[in-house]
């Protein structure tokens, strides 16, 4: 089985509300995949078992991305959800980098005026 514990303590930790929302969205995807004949009932049961066995270990955005990557590799119906979450993670990372660069520029500017 997979292991999703976060290696980075600075990762964004989920609130219970966020976990419930993600869980609901994954359930909605599973139901839609069944309705659209993207997966069989047997595959949906395997998918549900996979989620039940592994989702509790997902505690941060970082581990969610890894989990969804594995989930979408096994059940392609989750690919768009994985890409959406990954894109949001990359946007957060980009914003953090921009903030850090802006701070460095501000410090440099302050040091030059002194």
Note the pLDDT of residue 89: 60
Decide if 65 is inside a domain.
yes
Decide if 33 is inside a domain.
yes
Q: What share of the chain is helix, strand, coil (3-state, %, to 5)?
A: 80, 0, 20
Decide if 92 is inside a domain.
no
Decide if 93 is inside a domain.
no
Structural domain boundaries enclosing 50: 16-85
Note the pLDDT of residue 41: 96
| Number of domains observed in the structure of the chain | 1
Note the pLDDT of residue 37: 94
Q: Give every residue of the chain whose pLDDT is below 50, as ranges.
A: 6-10
Note the pLDDT of residue 95: 63
Note the pLDDT of residue 27: 95
Decide if 11 is inside a domain.
no
């Amino acid at each position: 089985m997979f292991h999703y514990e976060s290696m980075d303590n600075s990762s964004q930790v989920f609130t219970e509300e966020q976990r419930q929302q993600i869980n609901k969205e994954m359930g909605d995807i599973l139901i839609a995949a069944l309705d659209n004949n993207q997966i069989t009932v047997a595959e949906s049961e395997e998918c549900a078992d996979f989620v039940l066995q592994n989702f509790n270990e997902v505690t941060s955005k970082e581990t969610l991305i890894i989990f969804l990557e594995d989930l979408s590799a096994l059940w392609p119906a989750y690919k768009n959800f994985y890409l959406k979450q990954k894109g949001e993670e990359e946007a957060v990372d980009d914003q953090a980098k921009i903030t850090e660069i802006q701070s460095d520029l501000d410090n440099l500017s302050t040091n030059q005026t002194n």
